[in-house]
A and B are shown apart, each in its own frame.
Chain A
Amino acid sequence: MTIHTSQQYEAELRALKDRLLAMGGRCERLLRQAISALQTQNVELAAAVAKTDHEINTDEMAIDDLAVRILALRQPVGRDLRFLMTALKVVTDLERIGDEAVNIAERAGELANEVKLPSTSSRLGEMADAAATMLHEALDAFVEEDPIKAEHVLAADDAVDALYGETMRATFTFISANPEKVKPAMAVASCAKYTERVADHATNIAEMVVYMVRGVDVRHPYSKTKA
């Protein structure tokens, strides 16, 4: 391989990584905006979030294209191959995060007409903050190829799960006390579920960073495949 093509190859890998990070930044912001639209009952912001989703879909397709091109033309091995496999999976998780944000925005649009948000929404902001931070850190770990940071993200997922459990318990209590408010309460509970899924996707990304750097699969520790 000549120096020229190897430089080009490096540039392609970098372009892929950068595009992935830009997409991650978009997802993070979308999630925060969706929750903020919900909390402030802001219809315009909720509609804007639903619209930005197409940018994330464009990102996904562009990244898939880049990755397939590199795989086909360069036939990478070792670390580069792991990087590309990781990128292809990360992009799927990011796209799902975008979808979850749009789901939250749709519920926010419905909830905007309520006079008062159900009290069960009190921990949503905290949850979204934690999930967005996890996503940010997972991508930090990806940039810095830092498996320790990635493991930190894995640990943070428990906090989001706990907040989700708390919100669900509060929802049951709230609905028994206010049966006429089932609809808004369920909308809030759905948003909690969406946010919890965002945290799960962030966890996936972190797991793949560990795989990319160490070549070790840390997913599903109790169901190893036999070689």
Chain B
Amino acid sequence: MLKSLRARIFGAIVLVTIAGVLLSLFVTDPRIIVGGGVFALLLGGLLAELLTRSLTQPVAEIARVTAALTAGDVGVRLRSEREDELGELARSVDRMADAVDERLARMNSEEAQLRTILDAMVESVFVTDREGRIRVTNAALQRLAGRVEGRTAVEAIRSPELHEAVGGALGGVASSVTIETRLGVDPRILAAHVAPLPGRLGVVAVLHDVTDLKLADTVRRDFVANASHELRTPLTAIRGFAETLADGAVSDPVLAKRFLGRILEHSVRLQRLVDDLLELSRAESPDVVFTLEPVDVAGAVAKALRGLERSAMEKKITLGAEGLAGEALFVEADAVALDHVLVNLIDNGVKYTPDGGQVTVRVRAAGDEHVELEVADTGGGIAQSHLSRIFERFYRVDSGRAREVGGTGLGLAIVKHFTQRMGGEVSVESKLGRGTTFLVRLRRAQKSTDAA
């Protein structure tokens, strides 16, 4: 553009020179003719230069601004005040820049929105290009598999099922698969939905972590199986003894007495199991309201210890209590639930401690906020590998021994649920051969005078 204007400068000089020659037809003095010619030549040159500048400068300006816009400097504008076509062009460039600016801002905000939505999702999401390389991920996927952009799906998550699903989706077929994988140390189960992007541009995959769901499902199934098994065992025994009695053993007074004794024994066990199951369902049911009120710890401990005095005496086990003498401590608790927790823990201690041992309850304030109740025994202790599971329903460290001492396998599960319902927590420490200590931590209550 500039080049063609420069070419026109020459044309302008020639035009002006012709004007000078025409003038010379009327003027005869050769000096004037030559002078006029020279003057006309200079004037022409000057005019041409001025004209050219007035044209090239705004065009060069437009070129500079559009170049800056292209380079991404979206703030620059021409702000021309010319009235002519060049001014109109400059204003139209400005308007275009405004429109681009606005559209860019909208796109950025839309992208930020999309990003926020993606990152807020619980599910892990990734999008691949048409070659199967991951291009877009969200925060959940990064937590699951780290930074995997640029990798293929199977490189990120080593699952043959995912590999096949992504391959299928690249070919246009959506599918849902369950994948089991290990990311780090934990096994994870993911439900994946993999679908092709429109136009076969790639694949979008949404992965939902169902590990906990599956686990809960397994726990529930195990519970039903365990409970049925536990209920059936005494029932079978009762029925067996009753049938033997009906078949004639009833007429043998010695046998009859022994069998009736066994029937009684098993029905007591059945009763205890059903009671515990009901207790547990009460602890787990959200419909059951726990009335939390200040409860005197010393009173609760003394009551629980009194109830177990006899069974402790039978095994020559010394029951002890520490920390009851000082300032009275109150906890926020449901009196009945707290009694259950204490009785279960002390009873467990008595059951699993050999004759002549000790079970001690210690009470202490843990700051102004909490009270800690410790139940320590001098029994055989629990191996480290069992400790994390002993609060599970029907989990038994030694099932034979547990049944022998009359455990239902539900005691500690009840303790855990009751404690949690009262806003507290329970933990356990144990050393093999040294004994086990359960620690119940409850919220401390200030003795309220109005409740009294």
Contacts and interface: CB of A to CB of B under 8 A. Distances in A.
A68 interface: no
B181 interface: yes
Contact of A136 (B132, B158, B163): B158
B154 A139 contact: no
Contact of A26 (B152, B155, B160): B160
A21 B160 CA distance: 8
8 contacts: A17-B152, A18-B132, A19-B163, A22-B159, A29-B180, A136-B182, A143-B151, A143-B155
Interface residues of A, number: 19
Contact of B181 (A19, A25, A139, A143): A25
Nearest to B158: A25
Contacts of A55: 160
Given A14-B131, A136-B182, A28 B152 contact: no
B309 interface: no
Nearest to B180: A29
B137 to A, nearest CB: 16
Interface in B115-162: 131-132, 151-152, 154-155, 158-160
Interface string B153-192: 0110011100110000000000000001110010000000
Interface SS, A side: helix
A181 B182 CA distance: 36
Contact of A14 (B152, B158, B181): B152
A191 to B, nearest CB: 21
A21 B131 contact: no
Given A136-B182, A143-B151, A21 B158 contact: yes
Nearest to A33: B180
Contact of B155 (A11, A18, A28, A29): A18
Contact of B160 (A11, A14, A23, A136): A23
A25 B155 contact: no
A128 B180 CA distance: 17
Interface string A15-47: 001110111111011000000000000000000
Interface in A183-218: none
A29 B159 CA distance: 9
A16 B131 CA distance: 13
Contacts of A143: 151, 155
A19 B162 CA distance: 11
Interface centre among A19, A22, A132 (most CB of B within 10 A): A22
Nearest to B156: A143
A25 B160 contact: yes
A22 B151 contact: no
Contacts of B182: 28, 132, 136
Contacts of B154: 18, 21-22, 25
Nearest to B164: A22
Given A14-B132, A22-B164, A55-B160, 11 more contacts: A17-B152, A18-B163, A21-B158, A22-B158, A25-B159, A25-B181, A29-B180, A132-B182, A133-B185, A139-B158, A143-B151
A139 B154 CA distance: 11
A23 B164 CA distance: 11
A139 B151 CA distance: 14
A139 B131 CA distance: 21
Interface of A: 11, 14, 17-19, 21-26, 28-29, 55, 132-133, 136, 139, 143
A198 to B, nearest CB: 15
A21 B180 contact: no
A96 to B, nearest CB: 18
Interface centre among B131, B154, B160, B182 (most CB of A within 10 A): B160
Contacts of B181: 25
- In the A-B complex, the 6 residue pairs with the smallest Cβ-Cβ separation, listed nearest first, are A22-B163, A22-B160, A25-B158, A21-B154, A26-B160, A18-B154
A136 B186 CA distance: 13
Nearest to A19: B163
A14 B164 CA distance: 14
Contacts of A19: 163
A135 to B, nearest CB: 10
B131 to A, nearest CB: 6
Contacts of B164: 22
Interface centre among B132, B151, B155, B158 (most CB of A within 10 A): B158
Contact of B131 (A11, A29, A132): A11
A21 B163 contact: yes
A22 B185 CA distance: 19
Contacts of A136: 158, 182
B76 to A, nearest CB: 37
A136 B132 CA distance: 22
Contacts of A23: 160
A21 B152 CA distance: 10
A130 B152 CA distance: 26
Nearest to B185: A133
A29 B187 CA distance: 10
A14 B154 CA distance: 11
Interface centre among A11, A17, A25 (most CB of B within 10 A): A25
A14 B181 CA distance: 21
Interface centre among B155, B159, B180, B181 (most CB of A within 10 A): B155
A18 B152 contact: yes
Nearest to A29: B180
Nearest to B181: A25
A24 B158 contact: yes
B158 A28 contact: yes
Contacts of A21: 154-155, 158, 163
Contacts of A132: 182
Contacts of A25: 154, 158-160, 163, 181
B366 to A, nearest CB: 38
Nearest to B179: A25
B169 to A, nearest CB: 14
A149 B152 CA distance: 20
Interface string B222-237: 0000000000000000
Contacts of B152: 14, 17-18
A18 B132 CA distance: 10
B417 to A, nearest CB: 28
A28 B179 CA distance: 13
